[in-house]
Chain A
Amino acid sequence: MTAPGRLRRRTLLRAAAAGAAAATAGCAGGGRGVQVAVVWSGGELAPFRAVVARYGSPVHVVSAGNDIDAFLRARQLAGTSPDVAILPRPGLVTEYARRGWLSPLTPAPGHGVPDGLAALLDSGGRRYGVWVKAAHKSLFWHLPSALPQPPATWDDLVALTRRLAARARRDGGPAPLAIGAADGWVLTDWFENVLADVAPDGYDALAGPDADWAGRPVRDTLDRLAEIWSVDGAFPGGGRRALLTQYEESIIQVVHTRRAVMAFEGDFADSVVRRFRRGPEEPAAFRFPGSRPGDGPLIVGGDAAVAFAGSRAGVDFVRWLTGADAFAPWLRAGGYLSDTVVPLDRYADPVRRRLAREMRTAGTLRFDLSDRLPGPFTGSDGVGIWRIMQDFFADVTGGVRASEAVRRATRQLAAAARNAGGGR
């Protein structure tokens, strides 16, 4: 072949490569400001964009959704990590820190966090994450007309459930409880609330490396759960149907179709409540009842911001986020609960103001346990503690004796904890 022929071939190859690059370059983002990967989507993403719009340089927000862990691992492997990530679980913060993926952080002065929460983000004596958003996970949502007198204690709740279930069986009235058992985290949130009430001292130990998942606290908690879940007619359509009900649908069953009287979930449920409420009546929420009146458990979840190693811009941005005023637009818009000491009058949203006060005055805050569990034990669809709690739910609603169901569940929990490198 002649020289021109060769030349042409090379040109063509180059053209092909350039074509590939051009075809794809068009898809890539433009100028690089601060890149932030967040777990939020939809209703939470928009107010967060309003928050970062006030930052000095351009901020590029990427919604990675619930698979943010897989997303960040892949990015780290490819060397294209974002500057900042907002993570849904403290376990991820410490794990990334141990691997050396993160920069240590110093929050802005005046960034106060309740005791015990901040330490969850430390690794090797240094802080690698800061809390930016909290979730109050100890609420029951209901319509005041359907439930004028909320139960004050756990025993009241069980009695109420039995009474309403009997009525529902008799004349087809609404079932007492809606539960999104198709989402494993709903069940783990139930478990954590009861655990914090039954065995306050054993709660934090279960997150540690020597957790005893077959011990007394866990068994007592499961007994209690079996007590209420096994009530015949407790859930609209029964347990089988509840296992196919997602969390949003359980709220809809209370506020819209009114097939159930109350649904347990966190403060974030109010976006579903607002979207699906019907008629003039305002749905309300009461605290998860404990053994004694006025002393219910308080479980909080939260999202933490981290900066990836080597990103100066990321560290600066996180520091800015922890400033007293950073989240003002979201506070004004409503739907935001802070775990820092934001003055209560800054909350535009009355529900959140009440919850923030509760979080501040509660004796002990406990952080969501399943979010602190190691490895796959922490749970996702069909995996870990989510799956085990769903099996337990299926057992107790399906007529398996409570003692047998508890035995099976504790065995599975202990085995899963062992495999994940925690527990004994």
Chain B
Amino acid sequence: MSRLPVLGEPVVLDDVGPPRRGRAYPAAGATSALLLPAALLLGGLVLWPVLRTVHASVTSDGRWVGAAHFRAALAAPGTGAVVGRTLLWALLVPAVVTGLGYLLAAASRRSQEGGLVRLILVVPTALPLVVTGVTFRLMYDPDPSRGLATLIAARLTGHTGDAVPQLLGPGLVTVALMSAFVWAWVGLAVLVFRAALDRLPSSLADAVRAYGGGRRHVLWDAQWRPLLLRTVAVVFALVALGTSRTFDLILVMTPGSVRDEASVLALRVWQTSGGTTTGEGAALGVIWLVAVAAGMLVAALFVRQAWPPPRAVDPPEADPASAPPRRPLRLLAAGAAVAWLVPLAVLVATSLHGPVEAAARGWWSAPPSLASYRELVTGGELWRLLAFTLLLATGVTATVLVVALLAAYPLAWLTGPAAQVTGLLLMTAVVVPVQVIAGPVNEVLGVVLSSGTARGLALVHVALGVPFAVLVLRNAFADLPADRVRAARLTGRNWWGTLRRLARQCRPAILAVSVLEFVQVWNDLVVGLLFSGPDAAPLGLFLAGQTRGFVAGSGVLAAGSVIASVLPVVLVVLARRQLVAGLVSGGVR
């Protein structure tokens, strides 16, 4: 689940729902072989490792030990706090993100500046979480001569810098981490809510008004009941599942002395088992796995039982009749946009200072220079890292696309319970936390590949990316209008020709999957941390490694973060319309 892509899950959750008419493809012979690559990848690198982890949690060197590991893991000091903190993350953060997302989506609709506001909010969703962590750690630096937040707090409270509450200190570190996470994820919620709001037929609101309904009634009967309830459930579930990505943030943002105060299950599993998976680490992993899978099932059930939404008849482009939101709301949107820009500005400003100035004083008190960039660019390592990460992300994206297209094609004409079961299985594969299965995956890689671990790294990325891609593409195939499917089947001379013609019809979905998978691999930290090898260190891992001497290296680190962010941000911003069209619209419909 730490692989949960940033955008597009709605379509996945949605798909657990009732079967759609588009599934009614004619059967096409023994196409099950098409499923083979995906099945091998998922069986070998997800299912088998999960079983091995379960096995390791109840055995010790092959001997059955029952629940001993579970008892030991739960009795270890601090486990209760860790579990509690993980739950807090999974409940509080999604609530905040959902609420803010709805407010900002409503506030930025139909106003001139709305597009710009949304653009600004979307940028953080594209950043690697490592970069988000670096950005907020710069802002929250406990030294008021460097940390903007500490400086402002000191000015506001009138304390000296040393007496101000420390955002990275043991008391507030979780709050600090959560704020960074909310910053990174609200853009996603805004996108989803915006698509949902645009789908609402305005005639419904008019009808409510015609019957004498007030503002409250419009909100309830024309927005909440037909659509928003379901969208809220989708966004909440998404963010809740996404909170296990806090792993990256915690590694980057917390100094060693407060790591325990910030620890969640993801971190604890990694600390207890590292690259291997044994005993207590496996037991904690199993607990986590069960919780995540249960959460996913509940979310799926909830989404399914929600009000069946109306089909969007016509895309509600510009509706001149509806007024822009009221003034306070618009101000709120503008204020949010400015607030969301501040961390980005801090990151860029820090990167524009020499390594020594960035470490010794605030970016506002020293003249800008390009020394940090110069040091990074002439260091030699950067180009190798960029080239390797680019090659890795491209190769993985292409492979995922091929494997997923092949598998999605036969899966698309399943109907009824079969479709729902495959949907649930794929969804479960999407949410498996990779830390839990690291050890067994390494064993499998050892069997499959004789040497060369860059290949292993790519293989793990492919296996983790395939289930989500299959889900999205399967839904896209299933949603094609019946006449187009018929036309493709008539003109295509064989299944391959048909698949090619059908794929051409699903271009937005394919584009969306490609962009997401690419950004996913590019932004990755945890897979690199667990599976990278000789000569196979990706960019995220390099940046995270630099945070060990955070203050001393902050100039170069900020410069590296800016360079690492350019490509994902450009891709997501350019493709955001297609991302919405290809993924999100399917989810909230």
What residues of chain A have their CB less than 8 Å away from a CB belonging to chain B?
Answer: 1-2, 4-5, 8-9, 12-13, 16-17, 19-29, 32, 35, 37, 41, 60, 62-63, 65-67, 69-71, 73-75, 77-80, 82, 181-184, 237-238, 240-241, 243-244, 246-249, 252, 256-257, 272, 275-276, 380-383, 386-387, 390, 394
Contacts and interface: CB of A to CB of B under 8 A. Distances in A.
29 contacts: A5-B495, A8-B494, A8-B496, A13-B33, A13-B37, A16-B399, A20-B395, A24-B455, A28-B452, A28-B455, A67-B274, A70-B276, A74-B275, A74-B276, A74-B530, A77-B276, A77-B439, A80-B452, A183-B256, A237-B142, A237-B161, A243-B170, A246-B552, A252-B551, A275-B356, A276-B359, A276-B360, A381-B256, A382-B260
Contacts of A9: 33-34, 495-496
Most chain A CB within a 10 A radius of its CB, from B361, B403, B439, B446: B446
Contact of B257 (A24, A75, A182): A182
Contacts of B29: 1
Interface stretch (B107-115, B208-216, B332-340, B542-550): B542-550
B255 A20 contact: no
Nearest to B140: A244
Given A244-B166, A276-B356, A16 B459 contact: no
Contacts of B446: 77-80
Most chain B CB within a 10 A radius of its CB, from A66, A183, A240, A275: A240
Contact of A16 (B388, B406, B443, B458): B406
Contact of B536 (A22, A27, A37): A27
Instruction: Tell me what chain A mostly uses at the interface: helix, strand, loop, or mixed.
Output: helix
B271 A383 contact: yes
Contact of B394 (A16, A23, A243, A386): A23
B323 interface: no
A79 B449 CA distance: 9
Contact of B360 (A2, A35, A252): A252
B496 A252 contact: no
5 residue pairs, one from A and one from B, having the closest CB atoms: A23-B395, A248-B552, A382-B259, A27-B454, A74-B275
Given A16-B399, A73-B276, A74-B275, A29 B443 contact: no
Contacts of A22: 395
Contact of B443 (A27, A71, A78, A244): A78
Given A23-B399, A27-B536, A78-B442, A181 B169 contact: no
Contacts of B459: 20, 24
Most chain B CB within a 10 A radius of its CB, from A63, A184, A249: A249
A78 B406 contact: no
Interface in B274-330: 274-276
A24 B395 contact: yes
A248 B392 contact: no
Nearest to B438: A74
B259 A241 contact: no
B423 to A, nearest CB: 23
B450 interface: yes
B275 A27 contact: no
A13 B403 CA distance: 9
Given A28-B455, A70-B275, A19 B402 contact: yes
Contact of B551 (A2, A23, A248, A386): A248
B33 A184 contact: no
Given A24-B455, A69-B274, A243 B258 contact: yes
Given A19-B399, A23-B398, A241-B166, A390 B256 contact: yes
A60 B535 CA distance: 9
A123 B570 CA distance: 55
A66 B545 CA distance: 9
A80 B549 contact: no
A62 B534 contact: yes
B533 A75 contact: yes
A244 B257 CA distance: 7
A272 B451 CA distance: 38
Contacts of B275: 70-71, 73-74, 77
Contact of B258 (A2, A244, A249, A252): A244
B391 interface: yes
B58 interface: no
A29 B545 contact: no
B456 interface: yes
A66 B548 contact: yes
B355 interface: yes
Given A9-B33, A246-B549, A390 B257 contact: yes
Most chain B CB within a 10 A radius of its CB, from A25, A26, A66, A387: A26
A182 B550 CA distance: 11
Interface string B381-412: 00000001001101110110011001000000
Contacts of B406: 12, 16
B154 to A, nearest CB: 12
A193 B69 CA distance: 37
B168 interface: yes
Contacts of A25: 452, 455
Given A20-B459, A26-B395, A249-B552, A243 B257 contact: yes
Nearest to B168: A244
Contacts of B33: 9, 13
A26 B257 CA distance: 41
B257 A73 contact: no
B136 interface: no
A261 B493 CA distance: 82
Contacts of A63: 537
B360 A256 contact: yes
A275 B453 contact: no
A129 B518 CA distance: 42
A295 B170 CA distance: 39
Contacts of A184: 256-257
B263 A256 contact: no
Interface in B406-430: 406
Contacts of A37: 534
B535 A62 contact: yes
A1 B30 contact: yes
A382 B534 contact: no
Contacts of B529: 67
Given A241-B162, A244-B168, A386 B552 contact: no
Interface in B24-42: 29-30, 33-34, 36-37
B55 to A, nearest CB: 15
Contacts of B469: none
Contacts of B169: 240, 243-244
A26 B454 CA distance: 9
A29 B452 contact: yes
A381 B547 CA distance: 13
Contacts of B34: 9
B355 A275 contact: yes
B391 A27 contact: yes
A246 B535 contact: no
Nearest to B163: A238
Given A73-B275, A238-B162, A252-B359, A244 B255 contact: yes
Most chain B CB within a 10 A radius of its CB, from A2, A27, A79, A238: A27
A77 B442 contact: yes
A27 B393 CA distance: 11
B552 A16 contact: no
Contacts of A66: 548
B531 interface: yes
B195 interface: no
Given A20-B458, A80-B446, A390-B256, 13 more contacts: A8-B496, A9-B495, A20-B395, A20-B459, A27-B458, A62-B534, A73-B274, A78-B442, A80-B452, A182-B256, A184-B257, A237-B162, A246-B552
Most chain A CB within a 10 A radius of its CB, from B388, B445, B548, B550: B548
Nearest to A412: B77
Nearest to B397: A23
Contacts of A1: 29-30, 494-495
Nearest to B273: A70
